[in-house]
C-alpha cells in the first residue's frame, strides 16, 4: 500500500515553481568565466561527475544500479553502440518503474517479497529504450558558459547534456553550476570541493589549482578520448614546494583506479615523506644509469618508456638538463619525443624556468636561472595549470623541512623565499596561465570562424629605431597595469634597417628602447615589412590587440594629408582597438621607421 502511494505521488508530482519567462532581452549577470567553452569548463571547474549513461538494450536493473552509484545529476542518458545520445530516463520515471517491480513482486509472493529470480526476470524485459524520452535541448561543447546560462533560463531546465562534435555526451552543465559561479563572483571567494580524496593525510593542505577545483580522473579521461593524439598537461608553480609533484602522483593513482595504463617515467620526491608515500603502488619505468666523470647518474629512459607504451606517463623536473651523452640534451626534449610516439604526458615545472620570463625572474629574485624551457614547448601543451598555495603556507612548509634540508632553510627564507619574491612569482604564474588560456581560446575561435571574445585585454606599444621611446613605453606599462594584463612592444624592421644596413646610432637607440621595454615587463616582438603601418595593423588584427599606444609629434595638417598617418589608419582599420596617443618631444621622433607617427606609411 505504501509503495503504491509513493508511486502515485511520483507520477502526480508537479514541477517546482520557476521564474516567469522574461523577454529575450533579459540582461544576465556577467560571470568571470562566462567566456569559457563548456569543454574547458567541464574539465576545469564543474563539480558534477560524468553523466550516468546506459545503452539502448540495457535493462532497468542496470539503469537503477547506475542511478544509485552516481546519484547526482539525477537524469540517466541513453546512448547507442556508437556512443551517440538517443534519449534520457528521468529519475521519477525510473523510480516509478522500480516501485512497480517491487510492488508486483510483493503481490506474487507474500512471504518472499524480493525473490531474486522473479525480480531479475521482470527487470530484464524492461529496456532503457522503452523507458527513455527524447532529449529536447542539448548544447555543444564549443559553446560558452554564458550561452549555457541563457539556454537553461529560457528552457526552464535544471541541466543540459553537453555533446562533442561526434554527438557523444561528455558531461552535463547544471543550473547549480551557474549558481556556483555567481556566488563565487559575488562573494569574491572560492567554494570548497564537493569530493574528498582518498589520500586524506595530506590533501587538507595539498595544493590545488588556483580556482579551487581538484581535477578528476574522469575529466582527464574525457579529454584523452577527444583525440587520438597524445596529450600534454603541464603543471606550473611559483616555486618548489607548492605541490606539483604531489598533484601529479595523486592524479596518477586516481587514473589507475579508473583503469588507465599510467606509469611513472621520472619522479623526484626530494626526500618528502608524503610524496614518497604516493609513489608506492604505481609502476615505475626503470631509470637509465649514466656514467659521467666518475659519477653514476640516473636519467629518464626515453626508449624504455616508448617500448612500454603506456597510455599516460608522469615525468617530473621538466627543465632538467640531462647528463652529457644522453639521447637528448634537455628533459623537455625527452617529453616531446615521447609525445611524438603517441604517449600522453603529465609534467611539471616552476615559473622561473620559462624562457621568456627568465629576465623578469632575475630582476625579481636576483637569481639567474640557468635551466629554461622554451615558450614553444608550452604551445604544444593541451593544458597549462597553475598549482598555487599562499605565501605564508609555502614559507611554513619550508620551515618544516618539507622543501629543503634543514641547513638550507634559513638561507632560502632570506633569499629566494622572501615574501616579496614569492608574491611576484605567484603573480607571474597566474598571468602565464591566463595568457595560455587566452591564446588557446583565440586559436579555437579563429579556427572555427567565430567572433573573437572581447577579453582578455591586450596592449601593444609601437617603438622606433631612433630616439628614446621611454615616454610611450611607460604609458604602455601603465595601461597594462590598470588592465592587469601582459603587453608587447612591437618594432618593424624595414629593408633599410636590416642588419648591415641600419645606421649604428639608430641600432644603439633601438637596443636601448628594447632593453627599457623588457625592464618594464614587456614582451618584444619584431616584425618585418616594407610598410610599417601594414605590418602593425596586420599584427594587431591577428593577435586581437585591444589597446595600441603610439607616440606623435607636432605635424602640420598639410604633412598629414601629403604623407598619411598611421594613427588615422588604425582608427579606420582596427575598430576594436583603443588608440592611445602620447605627445613626443621633437628629438624623440625623428625616426624613419615610423612608429612615432612617421610619414609615407
Determine the average pLDDT of the residues in 30-52: 68
Check whether residue 512 and residue 406 sit in a common domain.
no
**What's the number of domains the chain is made of?**
3
Judged against a pLDDT cut of 60, whether residue 107 lies above it is answered with: no
Residue that terminates a domain, selected from 187, 213, 238: 187
Determine the Cα–Cα distance for residues 594 and 565; give it in Å rounded to an integer. Answer: 10
Determine the average pLDDT of the residues in 21-43: 61
Local confidence band at 119 (pLDDT 50, 70, 90 cut-offs): low
Check whether residue 302 and residue 156 sit in a common domain.
no
Mean pLDDT over the full length of the chain: 75
Check whether residue 417 and residue 473 sit in a common domain.
no
Check whether residue 322 and residue 471 sit in a common domain.
no
Nearest Cα neighbor of 382 from 164, 222, 256, 166 is 222
Check whether residue 302 and residue 382 sit in a common domain.
yes
**601 domain residue, yes or no:** no
Determine the average pLDDT of the residues in 108-117: 48
144-148 long-range contacts, CB within 8 A, separation 24+: 144/34, 144/35, 144/36, 144/37, 144/38, 145/31, 145/33, 145/34, 145/35, 145/36, 145/38, 145/41, 145/173, 145/178, 145/181, 146/28, 146/30, 146/31, 146/34, 146/35, 148/38, 148/173, 148/178
* pLDDT for position 592: 37
3-state helix, strand, coil in the chain (%, to 5): 45, 20, 40
pLDDT in tens, 368-400: 888 988 877 888 888 888 887 788 888 888 888
* pLDDT for position 565: 63
More confident residue, 4 or 526: 526
* pLDDT for position 561: 45
**13 domain residue, yes or no:** yes
Check whether residue 465 and residue 545 sit in a common domain.
yes
Q: Alpha carbon of 76 to those of 140, 158, 207: distances in Å?
A: 18, 14, 34
Determine the Cα–Cα distance for residues 227 and 230; give it in Å rounded to an integer. Answer: 8
Check whether residue 131 and residue 41 sit in a common domain.
yes
Judged against a pLDDT cut of 60, whether residue 422 lies above it is answered with: yes
Q: What is the CATH number of the domain that holds 356?
A: 3.40.50.300
Write out the H or E segment, with its range, that includes residue 348: strand 344-350
Percent of the chain at pLDDT above 70?
Answer: 72
Check whether residue 235 and residue 318 sit in a common domain.
yes
Give me the residue label for grid cell 528521468: 90
Check whether residue 408 and residue 504 sit in a common domain.
no
More confident residue, 178 or 448: 178
Q: What is the CATH number of the domain that holds 497?
A: 3.40.50.620
Q: What is the CATH number of the domain that holds 118?
A: 3.10.580.10
* pLDDT for position 323: 94
Residue range(s) defining the domain that contains residue 324: 229-247+266-444
* Highest-scoring range by mean pLDDT, 95-109, 123-137, 333-347: 333-347
* pLDDT for position 217: 53
Q: pTM, whole model, 2 decimals?
A: 0.46
More confident residue, 472 or 571: 472
- Hey, is 350 helix, strand or coil? strand
Check whether residue 386 and residue 278 sit in a common domain.
yes
- The answer to whether 566 touches 594, Cβ cutoff 8 Å, is yes
pLDDT in tens, 452-492: 555 567 889 988 776 778 888 877 877 776 665 778 999 98
Amino acid at each position: 500500500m505504501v509503495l503504491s502511494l509513493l508511486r502515485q505521488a511520483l507520477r502526480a508530482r508537479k514541477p517546482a515553481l520557476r521564474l516567469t519567462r522574461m523577454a529575450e532581452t533579459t540582461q544576465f549577470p556577467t560571470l568571470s568565466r562566462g567566456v569559457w567553452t563548456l569543454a574547458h569548463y567541464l574539465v576545469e571547474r564543474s563539480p558534477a561527475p560524468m553523466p550516468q549513461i546506459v545503452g539502448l538494450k540495457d535493462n532497468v536493473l542496470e539503469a537503477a544500479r547506475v542511478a544509485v552509484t552516481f546519484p547526482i545529476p539525477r537524469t540517466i542518458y541513453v546512448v547507442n553502440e556508437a556512443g551517440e545520445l538517443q534519449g534520457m530516463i528521468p529519475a521519477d520515471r525510473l523510480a516509478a518503474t522500480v516501485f512497480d517491480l517491487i510492488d508486483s513482486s510483493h503481490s506474487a509472493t507474500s512471504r518472499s517479497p524480493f525473490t531474486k529470480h522473479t525480480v531479475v526476470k521482470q527487470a530484464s524485459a524492461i529496456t532503457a529504450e522503452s523507458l527513455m524520452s527524447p532529449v529536447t535541448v542539448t548544447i555543444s561543447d564549443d559553446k560558452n558558459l554564458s550561452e549555457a546560462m541563457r539556454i537553461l533560463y529560457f528552457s526552464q531546465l535544471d541541466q543540459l547534456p553537453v555533446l562533442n562534435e561526434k554527438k557523444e555526451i561528455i558531461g552535463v552543465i547544471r543550473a547549480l553550476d551557474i549558481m556556483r559561479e555567481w556566488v563565487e563572483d559575488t562573494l569574491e571567494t572560492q567554494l570548497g570541493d564537493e569530493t574528498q580524496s582518498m589520500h586524506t593525510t595530506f590533501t587538507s593542505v595539498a595544493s590545488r589549482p588556483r580556482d579551487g577545483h581538484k581535477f578528476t580522473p574522469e575529466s582527464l579521461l574525457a579529454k584523452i578520448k577527444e583525440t587520438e593524439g597524445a596529450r600534454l598537461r603541464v603543471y606550473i608553480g611559483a616555486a618548489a614546494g607548492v605541490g606539483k609533484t604531489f598533484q601529479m602522483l595523486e592524479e596518477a593513482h586516481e587514473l589507475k583506479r579508473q583503469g588507465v595504463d599510467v606509469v611513472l617515467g621520472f619522479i623526484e620526491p626530494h626526500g618528502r615523506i608524503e610524496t614518497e608515500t604516493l609513489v608506492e603502488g604505481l609502476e615505475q619505468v626503470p631509470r637509465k644509469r649514466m656514467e659521467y666523470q666518475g659519477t653514476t647518474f640516473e636519467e629518464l629512459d626515453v626508449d624504455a618508456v616508448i617500448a612500454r607504451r603506456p597510455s599516460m606517463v608522469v615525468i617530473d623536473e621538466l627543465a632538467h638538463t640531462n647528463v652529457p651523452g644522453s639521447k637528448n640534451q634537455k628533459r623537455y626534449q625527452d617529453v616531446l619525443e615521447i609525445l611524438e610516439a603517441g604517449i600522453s604526458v603529465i609534467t611539471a615545472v616552476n615559473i622561473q624556468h620559462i624562457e621568456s620570463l627568465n629576465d623578469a625572474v632575475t630582476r625579481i629574485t636576483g637569481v639567474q636561472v640557468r635551466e629554461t624551457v622554451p615558450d614553444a614547448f608550452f604551445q604544444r601543451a593541451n593544458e597549462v595549470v597553475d598549482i598555487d598555495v599562499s605565501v605564508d603556507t609555502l614559507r611554513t612548509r619550508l620551515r618544516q623541512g618539507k622543501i629543503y634540508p634543514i641547513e638550507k632553510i634559513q638561507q632560502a627564507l632570506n633569499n629566494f623565499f622572501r615574501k616579496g619574491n614569492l608574491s611576484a612569482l605567484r603573480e607571474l604564474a597566474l598571468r602565464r596561465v591566463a595568457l595560455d588560456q587566452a591564446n588557446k581560446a583565440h586559436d579555437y575561435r579563429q579556427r572555427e570562424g567565430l567572433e573573437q571574445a572581447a577579453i582578455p585585454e591586450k596592449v601593444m606599444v609601437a617603438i622606433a629605431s631612433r630616439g628614446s621611446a621611454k615616454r610611450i613605453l611607460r604609458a604602455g606599462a601603465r595601461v597594462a597595469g590598470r588592465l592587469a594584463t601582459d603587453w608587447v612592444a612591437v618594432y618593424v624592421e624595414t629593408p633599410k634597417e636590416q642588419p648591415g644596413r641600419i645606421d649604428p646610432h639608430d641600432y644603439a637607440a633601438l637596443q636601448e628602447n628594447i632593453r627599457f621595454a623588457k625592464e618594464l615587463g614587456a614582451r618584444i616582438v619584431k616584425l618585418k615589412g616594407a610598410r610599417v603601418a601594414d605590418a602593425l595593423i596586420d599584427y594587431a588584427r591577428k593577435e586581437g590587440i585591444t589597446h595600441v599606444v603610439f607616440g606623435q609629434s607636432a605635424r602640420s595638417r598639410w604633412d598629414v594629408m601629403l604623407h598619411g598617418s598611421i594613427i588615422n589608419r588604425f582608427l579606420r582599420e582596427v575598430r576594436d582597438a583603443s588608440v592611445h596617443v602620447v605627445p613626443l618631444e621633437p628629438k624623440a621622433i625623428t625616426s624613419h621607421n615610423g612608429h612615432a607617427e612617421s610619414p609615407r606609411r
